[in-house]
Amino acid sequence: MTKQISKIEKLVAELCPNGVEFKELGEVCEIADNKRKPVKSSLRVAGKTPYYGANNVQDYVESFTHDGEYVLLAEDGSANLENYSVQYATGKFWANNHVHVLRGLDEVLNRFLFHWFRNMNFIPFLTGGTRAKLTKAKMLEIKIPIPPLAVQEEIVKVLDSFTELEAELEAELEARKKQYEHYRSELLTFGDGVRWTTLGEIFEMFAGRQISAVYISDHKTENYPFPCYGGNGIRGFVAMKSHDGEYLLIGRQGALCGNVKRAKGKFYATEHAVVVNSNGDVNIDWAFHMLTLMNLNQYATKSAQPGLAVGRLNELRIPLPPLSEQKRIVVILDKFDALVNDISIGLPAELSARRSQYEYYRGKLLSFKEYAN
């Protein structure tokens, strides 16, 4: 990698010693927005052509709106404004009206465009409030560097090597997740040979305690040492604890209610979480895998603000194998869980490291001095 970076730096020094010219997007790109066509999901004809929305492929349909090599920028609805949605599409594809469709002309490579946009801060070009929009007019004002094609090609080689490795790791991680789900289902499927009971008989369950947001810190400090759990995981840190031990937390409000988290040691649980305590007959780690498999979200109330009542949870039936069997299953499933979900080890850690590497080199290689006439 060092040799490749040195080669690029040498090329830049030789070919553009006084800097690189920056041009507005409209000068160096073809904008193919006029071919876009939104189609309601109920009217789409199933096929093999990817149907792109603001953030990803939403469906597969017949026919296509574009054919070639293009970069797609979210027009509105990007899932993250700081890490703005940038996609790369090749071959035949269908684009709806939530993405801008563009490709470089003679002076700029499409893959160079793709990496440049992923490195760019779009926020100054967005308009609107809660649903920020990148209008075509504002997009055309974006200025991009135009280094010689030889420089672009070398930069693309380096950055593509990172994105290819990232894609391989993501595919492997997805395969491992499916493997984990398969074994979890196999190991946690029981018939009449085990005792069946209800959650209310083997768990003590109650809502957490209300706490004002002013008492929650975004960061762990000496004065705020205890993690504070809401309905979807840790939401910050607080000065006091509500629990100390080994518990499960079930989200009780919102679209994601029913998700299950493990909480061990000293922590605070807010009113948005159901705190689950074992009566001693249940290994808490086994219960984590079992309740996750049960998909508790399906038991939420069907309303604008879905919710899970403790009374409803108490009624749910659950198999209860012997403790020795529970512990055996935990050993197997915890290894899979760590491999696919623990960001400090295994594939998630490696994927995170590669993404950080890519972002570092992307920032380094795409920093150009602007040529002054």
Q: Is residue 177 part of a domain?
A: no
Together in a domain, 115 and 195: no
Together in a domain, 36 and 16: no
Q: Is residue 15 part of a domain?
A: yes
For 279-308, write each residue's pLDDT tens digit.
888 999 999 999 999 999 999 888 778 889
Cα–Cα distance list, 358 to 7, 70, 185 (Å): 18, 21, 36
Q: Is residue 75 part of a domain?
A: yes
For the record, the structure tokens of 259 come out as 């998700």
Instruction: Give 3's pLDDT tier (boundaries 50, 70, 90).
Output: low
For 188-206, write each residue's pLDDT tens digit.
999 888 999 999 999 999 9
Together in a domain, 7 and 41: no
Is the model more confident about 372 or about 319?
319
> d(Cα 187, Cα 293) in Å, to the nearest integer?
11
Which pLDDT belongs to residue 250? 96
CATH, residue 63: 3.90.220.20
Together in a domain, 166 and 259: no
Q: What is the mean pLDDT of residues 259-275?
A: 95
pLDDT higher than threshold 80 for residue 345: no
Cα–Cα distance list, 364 to 57, 115, 159, 360, 368 (Å): 30, 12, 11, 6, 9
Q: What is the mean pLDDT of residues 263-273?
A: 95
Q: Is residue 90 part of a domain?
A: yes
Q: What is the mean pLDDT of residues 330-345?
A: 85
Is the model more confident about 241 or about 6?
241
Q: Is residue 178 part of a domain?
A: no
For the ranges 148-152, 267-271, 339-343, the lowest mean pLDDT is seen at 339-343
Count Cβ atoms below 10 Å from residue 42 Cβ, excluding itself. 5
Together in a domain, 195 and 334: no
Q: Is residue 356 part of a domain?
A: yes
For the record, the structure tokens of 281 come out as 């007959």
Which pLDDT belongs to residue 347? 81
Task: Quote the mean pLDDT of the chain.
Answer: 91
Together in a domain, 79 and 137: yes
Instruction: Give 348's pLDDT tier (boundaries 50, 70, 90).
Output: confident
| Helices (H), ranges, the chain | 2-15, 25-28, 110-118, 136-140, 149-187, 199-202, 284-293, 310-315, 323-341, 346-365
For 12-61, write each residue's pLDDT tens digit.
666 777 888 999 999 999 999 999 999 998 899 999 999 999 999 999 99
The number of C-alpha atoms within 13 Å of 129 and in the hemisphere containing its C-beta is 1
pTM above 0.85, yes or no: no
Together in a domain, 206 and 277: yes
> d(Cα 245, Cα 264) in Å, to the nearest integer?
5
Together in a domain, 333 and 367: yes
pLDDT higher than threshold 90 for residue 6: no
Count: domains in the chain: 3
pLDDT higher than threshold 90 for residue 79: no
Q: Exposed, middle or buried: residue 71 (CB in 10 Å: 0-12, 13-18, 19+)?
A: buried
Residue type, 341: N
pLDDT higher than threshold 90 for residue 326: yes
Together in a domain, 245 and 360: no
Together in a domain, 308 and 348: no
Is the model more confident about 281 or about 247?
247
* Residue whose tokens read 């009206």: 97
Q: Is residue 127 part of a domain?
A: yes
* Cβ within 8 Å of residue 77, ≥6 positions away: 53, 54, 55, 98, 131
Q: Is residue 186 part of a domain?
A: no
Together in a domain, 315 and 198: yes
Domain that holds residue 36: 23-144
Give the residue among 217, 214, 211, 291 at the shortest CA–CA distance from 247.
Answer: 291
